[in-house]
Amino acid sequence: MSCNTTDSLHLLLTHADNRAPVLDHLDVAVDVDGTSMGTLASTCAPRMRKTLYDHGADPNDIAAQGWGVLVPEGNAEEILDALAPLIAFRERQLGAMCKIYRLPPSMDWSASLAWCAEVYHSTWMPEQIPRYLLLAGDLDSLSLELQQTLSYLACVGRIAFDAWTDYAAYAHKVVANETTQAAKVADLVFHTAADDSATTQLGRTKLIQPWWNMARIRHLARQLPVKGTPQLLKADRMEPSYLLQQSGQAERQVLVSLAHGLGAPASGWSTAAEQRTRQGELSLGNGETLTSSAVASRAFLPNGVWIHISCFGAGTPSNSPYLGWLQSMPNLTGDLAAAQLQQCLPMSGRPFVSGVAKAALANPCGPLAVFGYTDLAWLYGLVAASNTLKTRTDRFYRLTEQLLRGRRFGIALEDFHRDLRTIDSTTDTTVPSPHDDDRHRHLYTTLLRADLRSYVLIGDPAACI
């Protein structure tokens, strides 16, 4: 299928029933109309210009940087009891008690900003402010807005499970990994779904292959600490067993996967429970899916990391900044895309971490972290720069190199978000007129800002390979 790479957004989302890519046949055009851009900009999170405190020490040194846990008020004690092994281990590393914060549910942007100013930054002594923050609870109890606000100020990650035993299993896995004496050198593996859609073809050509090539060049130059030559898995293998086999053979593997994430069936999800379990699973092509149950039932990236590039791979928000933008597009395509997105928003009204991410982290033989999107994943923000096609592989490559060098996951994500801080500090908030020659760049930066905000860490930010 042909595609106009400079004018199309390319969405990594597919229907859960027939596996048809949601927008592959619609070819959503990059719209530079001032009204729709203003809608997107106004529904994004408020800008913040603060940066992390500089403690004057190695950012990887947890004793110098501090570590804290955020738990929802309603079931704080149950979560803390389940995480007791991890909390005790971190306190031994710190040589002090860790900070525990109990928060009310569903904090919006205003409440999150106020909490950061009045509680998290309530002291003038930086050494009393933990740099690493673990949110322990789902998106309906500790809001995504809070996580995104804190990401400007700290190294933030989240874990969320449906059973207390899964919190305990994850805690034991992290502690066991950090106390093992085995050599911690990881493999690097790349995989793109073979569904023959224009979107995944573009993603493979413009993002995954350059990323893999960059890693190979660095490995050959002995500048990338990886166990073996970075692998690009076969593009014609669609069965989940192949991907599971390739990702379960060795410990401490970093898997980069690009695929359509499962969204609502054409008729909508039948129940909220089905949506919470299945939305964000990987469509591998030819009707094959990497399901939550498959990820939970066998070895999958033991003590490794999953870099997940697909719609809703990390979770689903209660609302999306893209919705109003799509609805304001002056064409039928925008209306169709908005209707599809509307079907993917939580049936129950409760946002959630994806079932596949929960299953992976709860698996004792699963990964330590999942990096992924909590909203739509548009290739436009990944491969385009301003009004020209320019790969953004460097941002993703930096993430993999940080992880392979043993940097803690929160520090790796902070580096990944570096462009977000640059955008917030330098971009004019005024929406240019439709006749402004700079409007393509403005749309790109507005989309990129929303895209980066939605890319989060599911896992302990102080953990490392």
Clarify whether residues 320 and 235 are in a common domain. yes
Task: Give the domain-ending residue among 179, 196, 224.
Answer: 179
Q: How far apart are CA 378 and CA 385, in angstroms?
A: 13
Q: How far apart are CA 42 and CA 325, in angstroms?
A: 9
In this structure, the chain runs to a length of 465
Domain-located, residue 3: no
Clarify whether residues 337 and 386 are in a common domain. yes
Domain-located, residue 305: yes
Place of tokens 């697909």: 310
Question: Beta-carbon neighbour count of residue 108 at 10 Å?
Answer: 12
Digit-coded pLDDT (tens) for 184-235: 778 999 999 988 888 899 899 989 999 999 999 999 999 999 989 999 997 7
Q: How far apart are CA 187 and CA 370, in angstroms?
A: 16
Domain-located, residue 244: yes
Q: Which amino acid is at 167?
A: Y
Place of tokens 């039948």: 270
Task: Give the domain-ending residue among 122, 156, 179.
Answer: 179
Helix (H), strand (E) at residue 179: helix 164-179
Clarify whether residues 317 and 196 are in a common domain. yes
Residue 94: both structure tokens together: 């710190």
Asked whether the predicted pLDDT for residue 386 surpasses 50, the reply is no
Clarify whether residues 395 and 438 are in a common domain. yes
Q: Look at residues 176, 167, 92 and name the one whose alpha carbon lies nearest to residue 135.
A: 167
Clarify whether residues 173 and 187 are in a common domain. no
Question: Which residues lie below 8 Å from residue 375, measured CB to CB, with a gap of 6+?
Answer: 311, 312, 316, 317, 320, 321, 322, 450, 454
DSSP assignment of 284-351, as one string?
EETTEEE-HHHHHHS--STT-EEEEESTTSSEE-SS-HHHHHHHTSSSHHHHHHHHHHHHHS-TTS--
Clarify whether residues 335 and 247 are in a common domain. yes
Clarify whether residues 340 and 452 are in a common domain. yes
Asked whether the predicted pLDDT for residue 49 surpasses 50, the reply is no
Predicted model pTM:
0.90
Clarify whether residues 169 and 205 are in a common domain. no
Residue 322's pLDDT band (boundaries 50, 70, 90)?
Answer: confident
Q: Residue 151: is it exposed, middle or buried by C-beta count within 10 angstroms (0-12/13-18/19+)?
A: buried
The SS3 assignment for 103 reads: strand
Digit-coded pLDDT (tens) for 225-279: 998 999 999 777 778 888 888 888 788 999 999 999 999 998 899 999 999 999 9
Clarify whether residues 224 and 116 are in a common domain. no
% the chain with pLDDT above 70? 81
Helix (H), strand (E) at residue 464: none
Q: Look at residues 291, 307, 190, 303 and name the one whose alpha carbon lies nearest to residue 241.
A: 291
Clarify whether residues 246 and 111 are in a common domain. no
What are the phi and psi torsion angles at 261 (to 5°)?
A: -85, 145
Q: Give the per-residue pLDDT at 287.
A: 87
Q: Give the per-residue pLDDT at 330.
A: 66
Q: How far apart are CA 261 and CA 369, in angstroms?
A: 18
CB 83 within 8 A of CB 157: no
Domain-located, residue 53: no
Domain-located, residue 56: no
Q: How far apart are CA 363 and CA 179, in angstroms?
A: 19
Digit-coded pLDDT (tens) for 54-96: 456 899 999 999 999 999 998 999 999 999 999 999 999 999 9
Residue 431's pLDDT band (boundaries 50, 70, 90)?
Answer: very low
Q: Give the per-residue pLDDT at 321.
A: 87
Task: Give the domain-ending residue among 179, 200, 224.
Answer: 179
Residue 60: both structure tokens together: 């990887």
Domain-located, residue 34: yes
Domain span at residue 127 reads: 62-179
Average pLDDT for 324-352: 84
Clarify whether residues 197 and 100 are in a common domain. no
Q: Give the per-residue pLDDT at 6.
A: 43
Helix (H), strand (E) at residue 230: none
Domain-located, residue 272: yes
The residue that leads in pLDDT, 351 or 40, is: 351
Q: How far apart are CA 464 and CA 175, in angstroms?
A: 11
Question: In angstroms, how far is CA 206 from the centroid of its own chain?
Answer: 20
Question: Beta-carbon neighbour count of residue 330 at 10 Å?
Answer: 11
Digit-coded pLDDT (tens) for 303-319: 999 999 999 999 999 99
Clarify whether residues 337 and 389 are in a common domain. yes
Q: Which sign does the torsion angle of CA 265, 269, 270, 274 carry? A: positive
Question: Which residues lie below 8 Å from residue 104, measured CB to CB, with a gap of 6+?
Answer: 72, 73, 111
Question: Beta-carbon neighbour count of residue 392 at 10 Å?
Answer: 19
Q: Which amino acid is at 239?
A: E
Place of tokens 């996580």: 147
Q: How far apart are CA 458 and CA 465, in angstroms?
A: 15
End-to-end CA distance of the chain: 39
Q: Residue 405: is it exposed, middle or buried by C-beta count within 10 angstroms (0-12/13-18/19+)?
A: middle
Q: Look at residues 319, 315, 325 and name the one whose alpha carbon lies nearest to residue 342.
A: 319
> Which CATH number belongs to the domain containing residue 107 in this structure?
3.40.50
How many structural domains are present in the chain?
Answer: 2
Domain-located, residue 5: no
